[in-house]
Amino acid sequence: MSRARVARRIAAGAAFGGGGIGVLGAAAVGLLLAEVQLAKRSVGGDSSRPPGADGLYGRAVADVHAPVRLALLGDSTAAGQGVRRAGQTPGALIAQGLAAVAERPVALRNVALPGAQSDDLDRQVSLLLAHPSSVPDVCVIMIGANDVTHRIAPTTSVRHLSAAVRRLRTAGAEVVVGTCPDLGSVEQVYQPLRWLARRVSRQLAAAQTIGVVEQGGRTVSLGDLLGPEFTANPRELFGPDNYHPSAEGYATAAMAILPTVCAALALWPEEERPDALRDEGFLPVARAAAAAAAEGGTEVTAAMPTGPRGPWALLKRRRRRRIETPEQESVRGTAGAAGAGAGAAGAA
């Protein structure tokens, strides 16, 4: 069965209360459980609290414009588990990039919880909507990995995510979801668990996309943690626990999500029409979801409510912009000043 058909079945089950869809025969369970225990010895183990990054970004224009309200929800990836500095977390990086593009300050609030599964989104959304006067302008959700590792039924996962997106959209917030990452790209996960993790992760990501788009949100595929550079450089893009991203990995994620966040707020300079040179186009939502799940950094958004094969969506591959951490900006600024000083000395 194609990934598009599986994703559509999962999304339909989520919408109408169906059960989970099995992906394994019982004969394989014992072997896979042994592989899981082996993988647990090699990955994880980082129990430190993610650095707090809430606050105002782009203070230079704080007195001129009201801030854009940005919220992050989800699991440890959204929270920034695995890095030590607030400026290295995905929330801070996206806020910093959004402030630069919008030329307005950005007020960040992160309610993501390490270890969270999709059923925790209801609590997180309630925190954000507790005060109607402070409803976010845009929300970024990163969720799904813990649902896979805890063997949560994909229909259940998608049902909780769709409900969260619906509540946020009803409140007036734009929503961008970074779909389930490809757990088959974790270096310390071996075959056949690697194959299974990749298959289940991508099926869930595709089903998440259908559920989110049908509720009026946008998705960005995290895939193998957002691009072929992760597969090529896993030791650079994983953190010390071999599971959560490093600072460079989070920067890669933020670069992929930022254009879609800006587009949701009508701030991105690219047109919404598809670019055939980048294989963009209008597709039935299930086909768009399956295509996005196979390629990190791909955006899917609603296009037409009905079509010959159900709702249609626009598949986009937006150009990324490099996001620098405050430390990188400081280094670049110091280098520039040193170069200018050397040039002045030479002129003297």
Active site residues: 76, 241, 244
Say if CB 158 and CB 11 are below 8 A apart.
yes
Whole-angstrom distance, CA of residue 43 vs CA of residue 31: 19
Q: Distance between CA atoms of 158 and 160, rounded to whole angstroms?
A: 5
Write the DSSP string, 53-103.
--EEE-GGGTTTSPPEEEEEEESHHHHTTT-SSGGGSHHHHHHHHHHHHHT
Do residues 75 and 115 touch, judged by C-beta distance below 8 A?
yes
Q: What radius of gyration do the chain's Cα atoms show?
A: 20
Amino acid at 210: I
Our CA angle for 136, 128, 285, nearest 5°, is: 65
CA distance linking residue 348 with residue 231, whole number of Å: 50
Reduced to 3 states (helix: H, G, I; strand: E, B; else coil), residue 189 is coil
Position of tokens 């280094």? Answer: 331
215-224 burial code (b ≥16 CB/10 A, e <16): bebbbbbbbb
Residue 202 parent element (H or E) = helix 193-214
Q: What is the edge-to-edge ordering of all strands in the sheet holding 281-284?
A: 55-57, 106-110, 68-74, 138-142, 174-178, 218-220, 299-304, 312-316, 281-284
Phi, psi at residue 68, to the nearest 5°?
Answer: -80, 130
User: Which residue is listed with tokens 């270890």?
Assistant: 115
The CA distance from 135 to 237, in Å, is 33
